[in-house]
Each structure stands twice: as structure tokens, then as C-alpha cells.
């Protein structure tokens, strides 16, 4: 998959809109207008700060259903996404938590959203919602039935979960691409706001073999320089919130700061890559591994 086709850049920053609790969720506040207003404010802040895309999540609906969500949640998310598409000129995606990829695809098909995130596409994960089985077999057929090329980005070793068996990370990445037919793979830390280790990023980058690899949690302007060499893009939420607190709204100043740090890190990486390529041409030595991992 060529990320430029979808995001108009090979190194996208995807900002997250965490929806306030939706109808039927445990903390539903009774006002869908409040949900929409907050979502519109956050989408505007993300767009003005320079992100390349937005993904909408029912993040505050915890505790989550492990698969299909209530119809009221689907209806509310459809309305929100439609409002955001009329507000910002950015690609929009969906993550229907905990793992309702079918509703995500359906909402995307009806609103013109371009991609979804799936926490568990292949394998079996033990989570706080119980055992979640990857729905790749049915999901890919459902996408074909919908007749739309909605991209599927899937987590491997997703946060807040443990695999029922113990696969090698590299094998999990390859299985997600080759057997789950994901368009991109997402690697996160162990929990919300926690980055993956550089060791895991290195393993995942080698296994991805140039196919899209995203960081799914824990990226901030303080650590992007260490993360950038291994990945193509980033999904970011916590560090963009006011005071870095997950329950707070998006801070446009923090968005701009993150995007600038991301772009600066990529610029420096490109300069180092060119310098090493010139050096390699002189002494006929291969590039260091970190420059190969990220396919720069």
C-alpha cells in the first residue's frame, strides 16, 4: 500500500478524536450535542495543528463490549463522522472499540471514511473484555461485499491484552499482513500512552519488509526522534491533550508542537540517510540497520 495515495504523505501523523461517552455506554451523559461539539472542537484543533488524518474512537465508552456494539453507538458514530467530514478536509478513520471492525467498515462505507483500525484482526487475545478472536476471515469478505476499498490497519500484540498463545512478534506481524491481509500494522506499548520499545520496533520493522508500520501509542515530541527510524506513521492521542491528560480535550498548540517534532525528526533522518549513502558509496559498506528498518 502506498500511504501517499491515502494521506498525501509517506509519513502520516494521525490524530485521535476520543468521543465522549455515547448512548448506552456506562457513562453516557444524555447529550449527543455535547459529544458532537467536543468532537468538532477536537477535529478542528487537530486539523489546524497540521495532522494528516483523523481517527474517531468511542474511547470513553469503557467498559467496552468485546465485539459488536449497540446500534445506538453505531448511529452516534455515523453522525459524528459525517459532521467531521463536512468540517475538515482530511482523511477520516474509525476504531469501534473494543473490536467491532464490522461496524467500523459499515460506518466508513456510509460516510466515505477511508480507513479503520482493528485491535485484533488475527489470533486470539485475552483481554479485560474476555477472549477476543480475530475476525479476518469474515471481515475481509464483508469489505468485498461493501464494494469499497476501505483500508484496514491492524494492531499486533495490542495494548491491554495478552496473546492466548505465545507467537514471535515477527511472526505476528507477517501473519497480520500475509494471512489477515491487513493494509498496515500498528505496534503499541503495553497500555494507553505507553510507547513500544525500540527493540520491538526494530523486530516489527524488519518483519514488515517495507509494508506500512505505525506506532499506535506513546509517541510524544520528546521521543519521536528515537521512534521515527522504524516506522512509516504514527497514531497519537494522549500527548496532544491539554496538560497531557487523557480526559482533557485536544490542545492545538501541543498538536503543532508534535507535528513539528515529527517533521524535524524525519528531516534529520533523511539527512543522515543521504550522508550514510554517500559514505557507503565511498567505502562500499551497507547502511546501519536503523536506516533500513524504516525503509527511508
For the stretch 122-134, pLDDT in tens is: 988 888 888 989 9
Grid cell at residue 91:
482523511
Q: Are strands 130-133 and 161-163 parallel, antiparallel or unpaired?
A: unpaired
The share of the chain scoring above pLDDT 70, in percent, equals: 92
Which pLDDT score is estimated for 272? 84
What letter does residue 280 receive in the DSSP assignment? H
74-83, 185-194, 199-208: least confident range: 185-194
* Helix, strand, or coil (residue 220): coil
Which pLDDT score is estimated for 81? 98
Which pLDDT score is estimated for 295? 45
For the stretch 98-121, pLDDT in tens is: 999 999 999 999 999 999 999 999
| Cross-strand pairs, 276 | none
Is the predicted pLDDT of residue 276 greater than 90, yes or no? no
Asked if 187 and 215 count as a contact pair (C-beta separation under 8 A), the reply is yes
Mean pLDDT, all residues of the chain = 91
Domain count for the chain, please give it: 1
Is the predicted pLDDT of residue 289 greater than 80, yes or no? no
**Mean pLDDT across the stretch 69-85?**
98
Domain that holds residue 250: 3-160+169-293
CATH number at residue 105: 3.20.20.70
Asked if 18 and 95 count as a contact pair (C-beta separation under 8 A), the reply is no
Amino acid at each position: 500500500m502506498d500511504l501517499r495515495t491515502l494521506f498525501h504523505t509517506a509519513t502520516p501523523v494521525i490524530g485521535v478524536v476520543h468521543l465522549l461517552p455515547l448512548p448506552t455506554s456506562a457513562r453516557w451523559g444524555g447529550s449527543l450535542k455535547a459529544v458532537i461539539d467536543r468532537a468538532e472542537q477536537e477535529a478542528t484543533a487537530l486539523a489546524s495543528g497540521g495532522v494528516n488524518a483523523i481517527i474517531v474512537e468511542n474511547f470513553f465508552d469503557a467498559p467496552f463490549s468485546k465485539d459488536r456494539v449497540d446500534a445506538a453507538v453505531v448511529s452516534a458514530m455515523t453522525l459524528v463522522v459525517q459532521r467531521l467530514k463536512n468540517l475538515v478536509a482530511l482523511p477520516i478513520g474509525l476504531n469501534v472499540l473494543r473490536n467491532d471492525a464490522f461496524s467500523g467498515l459499515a460506518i466508513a462505507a456510509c460516510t466515505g471514511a477511508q480507513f479503520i483500525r482493528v485491535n485484533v484482526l488475527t489470533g486470539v487475545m485475552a483481554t479485560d473484555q474476555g477472549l477476543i478472536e480475530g475476525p479476518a476471515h469474515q471481515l475481509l469478505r464483508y469489505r468485498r461485499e461493501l464494494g469499497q476499498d476501505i483500508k484496514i490497519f491492524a494492531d499486533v500484540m495490542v495494548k491491554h491484552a495478552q496473546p492466548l498463545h505465545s507467537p514471535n512478534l515477527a511472526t505476528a506481524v507477517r501473519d497480520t499482513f500475509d494471512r489477515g491481509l491487513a493494509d498496515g500494522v500498528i505496534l503499541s506499548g503495553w497500555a494507553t500512552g505507553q510507547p513500544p520499545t525500540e527493540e520491538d520496533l526494530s523486530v516489527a520493522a524488519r518483519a514488515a519488509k517495507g509494508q506500512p508500520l505505525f506506532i499506535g501509542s506513546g509517541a510524544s515530541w520528546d521521543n519521536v526522534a528515537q521512534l521515527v527510524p522504524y516506522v512509516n506513521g504514527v497514531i497519537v492521542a494522549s500527548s496532544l491533550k491539554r496538560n497531557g491528560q487523557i480526559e482533557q480535550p485536544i490542545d492545538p498548540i501541543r498538536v503543532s508542537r508534535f507535528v513539528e517534532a515529527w517533521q524535524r525528526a524525519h528531516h534529520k533522518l533523511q539527512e543522515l540517510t543521504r550522508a550514510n549513502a554517500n559514505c557507503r558509496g565511498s567505502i562500499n559498506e551497507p547502511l546501519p540497520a536503523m536506516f533500513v528498518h524504516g525503509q527511508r
